[in-house]
Chains A and B, each alone.
Chain A
Amino acid sequence: MEADLTKEHSNLTRLYKKLERDYRALTLMHEQTERLRDANEAAKDQSNFYTRLLLENTPCTIFMLDLQMRFVMGSAHLASFLGYRDMREMVDRPFTELFSAMMPPEWVESADGRCRQTIDERRQVSTAERVSLKSGENLVLQVSMTPAEGKDGVCRGVVVVMNDITELVRAREEAQRASTAKSDFLANMSHEMRTPMNAIIGMTAIAKTSSDMERKIYCLTKIEDASSHLLGVINDILDMSKIEANRFELSPVVFNFEKMLQKVVNVVNFRVEEKQQILTVRIDKNIPGFLVGDDQRLAQVITNLLSNAVKFTPERGEVRLDTGLIEKREKLCTVEVAVSDTGIGISPDQQRLLFTSFSQADSGITRKFGGTGLGLAISKRIVEMMGGTIWVTSTPGQGSTFTFRFDARVADDQGLSQAKKLNRKDLRVLVVDDAPEVREYFADILQGFGIACDAAASGEEALSLVRARGSYGMYFVDWDLPGMSGIELAGLLSGDYDQDAMVVMISSAEWSSIEQDARAAGVKCFLPKPLFPSAVFDCISACLGAEEPLAEQKEEQCLPAQFAGHRVLLAEDVEINREIVIALLEPTGLDIDCAVNGAEALRMFSAASDKYSMIFMDVQMPEMDGYEAARRIRALDVPRAGAVPIIAMTANVFREDVERCLAAGMNDHIGKPLNFEEVFAKLSKYLGHAGQFGIYI
C-alpha cells in the first residue's frame, strides 16, 4: 500500500513537473506570439503605407478589379485619367462604367472581355494597342492583365497595368526608319562605289587590250573621271562619319570670296556645258573681298548645291548662284548664298527629309541621278558650324532654291582687299547681251570699277547706240545673241563702225570652239561666263594695257617647275605608290631614291644626309612607321637632320593625322590620292627655298 502511494506520488510529481514545463513553454510562446502579431500589424501598416505611396505617385495606370469586374483599388494616375478626384469615388464601380467616359465603347467591351478571360484562364494577357480616346487623342497603350491570385491559390480578381507607350512607339518607329535609311544608304554606297570601280576596272581592261592610242587615252580619261567620282564618294562618307562621331571641325583661313566661287564654278562648269545649261553667278559687291573662314568647306557646300542644281535641272535649263551681304557688324558679316535652278523641284514632304543623313528626297532619285545622299546633310552641318542655317524653297516641276547664310570674320586689311579701280573715267563700255540680268550685272560690276557702261539687248540695238552715241572704248558682246549673232556684230563693230574697236566676246561656250570665227570677226579677247568681277577687271586691264592683275593671282599660278640637281628620298612601302610618285615626278628632273619602310629611310638618310633635298614620307609602313622615322631623323646627329624638309605623303588625311605628322617633326602633308599640282606646289615651296627651313636647327 505504502509502495503504491509512493509510486503514485512519484508519478504525480513527474506529471506536475511536465505540466509546469508546458505552462512555461506556452507562456513564453504566447508572449512571443503576441509581440510578433503586433510587429506584423505594424509591418502591415507600413506595407499599406508604402502601397498607398506607390499608388499615389506612380505614373502608371494600374488598378485591380474583383471577380465581378468592380474596381477595388488603383493608382492616383488612373483616377486623374478617368476624371475622378479620389480613388475612393471609384471603389465598387464597374469597370465598364469607369472607363466608358474616356475610352471608346469597343475598347471597353474588349478590355472587359480580356479581364474575364484572364481570371477564367488564370494566365496573364498582354497586348499593345492603338486607342483613340473620346477626346480625340490617339494613344498606344501597353495593357497587361494578371490574375490576382493569393498564396492560397484563390483568384480574387485581376490586376491591370496600362502604360502609355505612345512616345516609345513613336521613337521606335523613328529608329526603325533611321535604320532602314541607313540600310538603304549602305546599299546605295555599295552601288555608288562599285559603279566607278566598275568603270575603272572595265576601262583598264579595255585600255590594256587596245593598241589604238586614242582609245587608250579615252579609257584613261574615263578612269580619271571615275576615280575622281569615287574619291568624292569616299570623302562624303568620311565627312559624314566625322560628323556622326562629332569630330568634324573647321579650319579658318583668310580667303578671297570671289576666287573661292570661281573655283567652285570651274568644278561644275563642264557639267553645265555638257547639259547646255545657263549658269549665272551674281556676287554682291558689298561682300568684303577677303573673309576669314574655312573656304574649303564653304566651297564644298556651294559645290554640292550647284552640283545638285545641275544634276536635277534638265538640259538647257538655268542655274543661278546669287550672293548677298545680309549684315555687317564691324569685323563680322553675314553672307547669304542662294542656288536656284529650273529643275524637277521637291515636294514639301521630300523637303523635310532633305537635310537628314542617309536620305534622298526619293529613293528613286538615287537610281536615276546617283549620289550618296549625304551631301546636304554634310552641307547643313558645315553651315551650322559656321553659325548659319540652310533651307530650301521649291515647287515641284518648277525648280528649287537652296539658300544658306553663314557668318564670317572680315579679314584684316593687309593689302589683300585692295580696291579694284581703273582710273579710266574716259572709258565707255557697251555690253550686248539678250539676258537682262547679265546686262544689269555687268553694269553693276563696271560701276564698281568706276567705268561708264551702256547696255544693249541685241546686235541691232547695239549698232543703234553706236550710231547715236559714237564708238565705245570696249564692247562686251555675247556670242549667242538672238537675231544678229555675236560674231556678226563683232565683225560689224570692228569693220564698218570702229576699226580699232576692242571687242571682247562673252560666252559660256568653249573658247576654242568659237575662237577662229571670233578672231576673224575682230574679237580681241574672250571672257567666259559666268561673269566674275575680277575676271572682268583683269580682262579690261589686259585689253587696255592697264594695271597688272593682283599679285595674289599670280601666286596661285602653278607652273611645272624644274628641280634637276635635287635628290629626294621617298619612303613608301607599296610598290605601285612608289611607281606613281616616280612617274609623276619624272618631268621635274628630280632624282629619287626609294626606301620601303621607315627604318630603311632612316638608314639611307643617316648614311648620306647631305644627299637629300627633301623626304616624302608615307606614314603607315611595316617595321617602322613614318612618325617614328621622322622623329628619329630629327634626332640624328648628322648634317641637315633638323633642316631637311620631310613631307608626309599619306592616305591619313584627317586634321588630327596632319597634326600628328607635324608633331612628329614633319614639315608638311600631302594627302593620297596624290594631286599632281599639290605635289608640285610643295616641291616649289620647299626646294625653291632650300636651306631656309631650319626650325629644328
Chain B
Amino acid sequence: MNSVVAYTSELDDAKEAAAQLAAQIREKLELRKHSAGILFCDADMDGAAVTAELAKLLGSEVLGMTTLATLDADGHHEAAAVLTMLTADDCIFSASVSSSLPGADAQAAIIEAYRAGVPAEIAPGQRPGLLMAFCPYGLPFSGDLYPVALSKAAGDVPIIGGVASDDYDYERARVFLSGRSYNDAMVLLGIWGAVSPVFSIRHVTSRFAERIRRITESEGNIVRRVGDETFVQYLEGFGLNTDVSDPLLAFTCYPMMLTSDTEDGETPLMRHICALNREDGSGAFFGDVPVGALANICLINKDDLLRACRESMRALLEAAAVRQEYVPSTILCISCCGRAIILGAHAAGEGRVLSEMLPPGISLAGAYCLGEICPTFYKDGKAVNRFHNCSITFCMF
C-alpha cells in the first residue's frame, strides 16, 4: 500500500479546496488499482461538496469527518483540511454508510453498514484487515456502541476511528462519504487484503484528585451514584462547579478515570463528562461507566499530555519496527479534542512532537475527536476494540 497526505487551508471554496488537494495527490502519488481518500477538515468546510469533487477528480471514494484541528507531517493546523490518499494493488478499499443511527436499532444499523461495505469480490467469511469508523456526535447512546456493534459484525478486526468534532459549538460536526454529509450516521472504510496495522494508545493518568469512590449506580453511560453520593455531589466534593452551561468544556481537563476488574484484568479507562443533570444528580459520559468500577478524577497538564503523545508514538514505531515482513506507509492519529483544548496556547505541541518523530517515507494525518476508537491490548496480548476519551491513539499500516 502507498499513501500521501495533502493539505489545504481553503475552507470556503469547496471546488478550489478539492482541486488543491487533488493536485497534491496527483503530484506525489501514482494511483494504483484500488484507492480511497480520508478527509479530516474544519467544520467550516463543506465536506460533502469537497468529497464529491475529490471523488470525481481522483476517481475514488472519499470519506471523512469534521475536526477541531488537523495533524499532518508539518504539525498541527487550525482551520484546515488534510486528505490522506491510500492506494494499493493488493488491497481493496470499501466505504459504506449506516442508516440514521438514532433510529430504532443503532446496533443493527451499524452491523448493516459493515455488511453493505463488504466488496462483492470478497469471499464469504473473509474479513478486512482494518476498519476505519467515523462517527457522528451527539447521539443519544454510549460511544461504546460503535466498537461493540462493529466487533459483532466484523469479529476481532481492529478498528481505528473517532467521533467527529467542531469548535465546541456541537452543531456542525459531520461525517462524509463522497458527496454526502451526515450528522446522524456513521461512515466506514474497510481495507481488505494486504494490510497489517499496529496500534498505540496512551491516556494521561499520572496525577489524580485522590477522591477514589466506587460507582454504585449507573446505566450505560449515565452515572447516578458514586459511593453514597449522587454523581453531581461526587463532583462537587472535589470543589468543582457543576452549575455550568457547557459541562464538556468545564470538565475537559478533569476526565474521570475508571478502574474495574474485568476478565481481561485491571484496565484503566478514561471518560469525559458530556452532560450533567442537576435535578437527579446524574451525569452522562461519552462511553459506558460500569457499576463497581473505582472512579477518580485525573488532573491533566501540558507536560503530561506531550509526554503521553511522545510515549505513544514511540511505542507505535517500536511495534511497527519488529514487523519486518510488512512495510507500512501511513500513520493515522486520532487524538482527543480535550487534549487540544487543555494544551491551549500550546495546542500545536502534539503536532510538533509527531513531526519530530515521524520516520521518513511515512505519511501522517490526524484529527481531534470527541471520543476515540482503538484496540486496547491486555496483559495476555489480546486486543479488544474499545471506545476511549482523553487518549491519543495511533494506527500505523
Contacts and interface: CB of A to CB of B under 8 A. Distances in A.
A14 B344 contact: no
A42 B342 contact: no
A271 B169 CA distance: 110
Interface in B322-358: 341-342, 344, 347
Given A21-B167, A22-B341, A22-B344, A15 B246 contact: no
A22 B346 CA distance: 11
B378 interface: no
- B interface, size bucket: 20 to 34
B301 to A, nearest CB: 10
Given A15-B79, A24-B168, A29 B342 contact: yes
B240 interface: yes
Contacts of A88: none
A18 B239 contact: no
Contacts of A15: 78-79
Contact of A36 (B42, B209, B244): B209
Contacts of B12: 7, 10
Contact of B250 (A11, A21, A22, A32): A32
Contacts, number: 71
A18 B78 contact: yes
A210 interface: no
Given A7-B12, A11-B79, A39 B168 contact: no
Interface string B236-267: 01111100101001111110000000000000
Contact of B241 (A17, A32, A40, A43): A32
Which of A18, A32, A37, A42 has the most chain B CB atoms inside 10 A of its CB? A32
A32 B254 contact: yes
B44 interface: yes
Given A35-B239, A36-B238, A36-B240, A25 B167 contact: no
A542 B324 CA distance: 124
Contact of A35 (B11, B211, B240, B347): B240
A14 B11 contact: yes
Interface of B is mostly: loop
Interface of A is mostly: helix
A38 B341 contact: no
A564 B241 CA distance: 105
A659 interface: no
B79 A28 contact: no
Contacts of B251: 32
Interface string A134-169: 000000000000000000000000000000000000
A423 interface: no
A133 interface: no
B209 A28 contact: no
A29 B210 CA distance: 19
B241 A31 contact: yes
A37 B347 CA distance: 24
B246 A24 contact: yes
Nearest to A6: B12
B253 A18 contact: no
B209 A40 contact: yes
Nearest to B207: A151
A28 B250 contact: yes
A7 B8 CA distance: 14
B232 to A, nearest CB: 14
A26 interface: yes
Contact of A32 (B44, B211, B240, B341): B240
Nearest to A13: B44
A501 to B, nearest CB: 104
Contacts of B211: 43
B253 A35 contact: no
Given A11-B79, A14-B44, A22-B341, A28 B246 contact: yes
Given A11-B79, A21-B167, A21-B168, A29 B239 contact: no
A43 B167 CA distance: 35
Contact of A25 (B79, B209, B210, B344): B344
Interface string A1-20: 00000010011001101100
A474 to B, nearest CB: 97
A33 interface: yes
A29 B253 contact: yes
A40 to B, nearest CB: 7
Given A15-B79, A18-B167, A38 B344 contact: no
Nearest to B167: A21
B182 to A, nearest CB: 23
Contacts of B254: 32, 36
13 contacts: A10-B12, A14-B42, A14-B79, A15-B79, A24-B246, A25-B168, A25-B344, A28-B250, A32-B240, A36-B209, A36-B240, A38-B239, A40-B239
Task: Kindly list the 4 A-B residue pairs having the minimum CB-CB distance in the complex, ordered from nearest.
Answer: A39-B239, A35-B239, A28-B250, A25-B341
Interface of B: 9, 11-12, 42, 44, 78-79, 167-169, 209-211, 237-241, 244, 246, 249-254, 299, 341-342, 344, 347
Given A33-B253, A38-B239, A42-B239, 4 more contacts: A18-B79, A28-B252, A29-B253, A39-B239
